[in-house]
């Protein structure tokens, strides 16, 4: 199978408007991790300000955005490992999100399991972890949709589990063509939902997240169970959900559980 050879000129004719919400998930303690280091909210605000100053700079075109939206675009530090549409090194940022919150949960669940697959001696956590799902509003006149013809003809390259080289080459050409958003099918979501890769901060229609949800995610020998109370919804991923990815095919499922002592108890 020959590699796709999309050029900026060829992609420019495939640009179409893209608008709608997208969902991203972060660990809930992003808001609270510094509280335990300070004695007051004022001290926490000062500490957060000092931490912010030590981080790589935010591009001017992203500086108006809430930090949850602008963080993936920070420059100044080398991107440690390549991702689907971003090369490793000092490369432009990408905001990865999903059109449906359950697709975002599937993506997060896969990478949590991947950590344990690569750490077979690590016991499962006894308690569910808390995550914040937030939606951002997108409105761009320059989107690429890899699920539609003619780009969908190369789906075999866009849907690779580990080899991101073709997607990264496409992203380079997409940027040169002026694309701000790439829509593509998730390879993690068993329902085949779609993800979006935001290449430019100009694609955000609003500076702040539009909506937030709290999800609790539990990992065990049986897989992953994720629940959200408001609005009430849940999703489950069994042992074989991600088995088509060779990195999880040999997962050690039977392992001990790490019990966490409740706060305030004596040793």
Domain membership of residue 1 (yes or no) is no
Cβ atoms < 10 Å from Cβ of 148: 12
Instruction: Look at residue 265 in the predicted model and tell me its pLDDT.
Output: 39
Domain total in the chain: 1
Domain membership of residue 135 (yes or no) is yes
Domain membership of residue 265 (yes or no) is no
Q: Are 83 and 92 in contact (CB under 8 A)?
A: no
Domain membership of residue 2 (yes or no) is no
Instruction: Look at residue 57 in the predicted model and tell me its pLDDT.
Output: 75
Q: Write the burial class of residue 140 (CB in 10 Å: 0-12 exposed, 13-18 middle, 19+ buried).
A: buried
Domain membership of residue 104 (yes or no) is yes
Q: Is the pLDDT of residue 264 over 60?
A: no
CA nearest 255: which of 227, 205, 222, 221?
Answer: 221
Note the maximum CA span of the chain: 66
pTM of this structure: 0.89
264 dihedral zone (left: phi>0; alpha: psi -120 to 50; beta): left
Domain membership of residue 37 (yes or no) is no
Grade residue 138 by pLDDT with cuts at 50, 70 and 90: very high
Instruction: Look at residue 28 in the predicted model and tell me its pLDDT.
Output: 76
Among the residue ranges 67-76, 101-110, 163-172, 236-245, the one predicted with the least confidence is 67-76
Domain membership of residue 123 (yes or no) is yes
Grade residue 77 by pLDDT with cuts at 50, 70 and 90: confident
Q: Which tokens go with 52? A: 């912010």
Instruction: Look at residue 36 in the predicted model and tell me its pLDDT.
Output: 65
The strand pair at 181-185 and 129-145 is best described as: parallel
Q: Are 59 and 72 in contact (CB under 8 A)?
A: no
Produce one character per residue of 171-210: b if its CB has 16 or more CB atoms within 10 Å, e if not.
bbbbbebebbbbbbbbbbbeeebbbbbbbbbebbeeeebe
Instruction: Look at residue 191 in the predicted model and tell me its pLDDT.
Output: 97
Q: How many CA atoms lie within 13 A of 72 on its CB side?
A: 18
* Domain extent for 115: 8-32+53-258
Domain membership of residue 23 (yes or no) is yes
Instruction: Look at residue 266 in the predicted model and tell me its pLDDT.
Output: 38
Per-residue pLDDT, averaged over 97-115, amounts to: 98
């Amino acid at each position: 199978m020959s590699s796709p050879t999309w050029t900026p000129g060829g992609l420019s004719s495939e640009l179409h408007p893209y608008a709608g919400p997208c969902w991203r998930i972060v660990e809930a303690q992003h808001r609270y991790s510094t509280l335990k280091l300070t004695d007051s909210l004022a001290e926490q605000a000062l500490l957060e300000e000092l931490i912010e100053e030590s981080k790589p700079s935010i591009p001017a075109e992203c500086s108006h955005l809430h930090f949850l939206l602008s963080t993936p675009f920070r420059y100044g530090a080398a991107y440690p490992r390549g991702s689907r549409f971003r090369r490793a090194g000092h490369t432009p940022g990408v905001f990865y999100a999903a059109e449906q919150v359950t697709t975002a949960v599937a993506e997060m669940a896969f990478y949590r399991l991947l950590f344990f697959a690569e750490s077979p001696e690590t016991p499962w956590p006894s308690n569910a972890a808390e995550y914040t799902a937030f939606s951002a509003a997108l409105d761009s006149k320059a989107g690429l949709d890899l699920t539609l013809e003619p780009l969908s003809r190369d789906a075999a390259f866009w849907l690779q589990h580990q080899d991101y080289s073709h997607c990264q080459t496409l992203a380079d050409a997409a940027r040169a063509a002026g694309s701000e958003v790439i829509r593509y099918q998730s390879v993690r979501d068993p329902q085949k939902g779609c993800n979006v890769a935001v290449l430019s901060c100009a694609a955000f229609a609003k500076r702040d997240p539009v909506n937030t949800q709290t999800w609790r995610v539990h990992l065990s020998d049986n897989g992953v169970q994720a629940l959200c109370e408001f609005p009430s919804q849940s999703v489950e991923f069994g042992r074989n959900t991600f088995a088509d990815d060779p990195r999880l095919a040999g997962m050690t499922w039977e392992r001990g559980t790490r019990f966490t002592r409740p706060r305030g108890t004596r040793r």
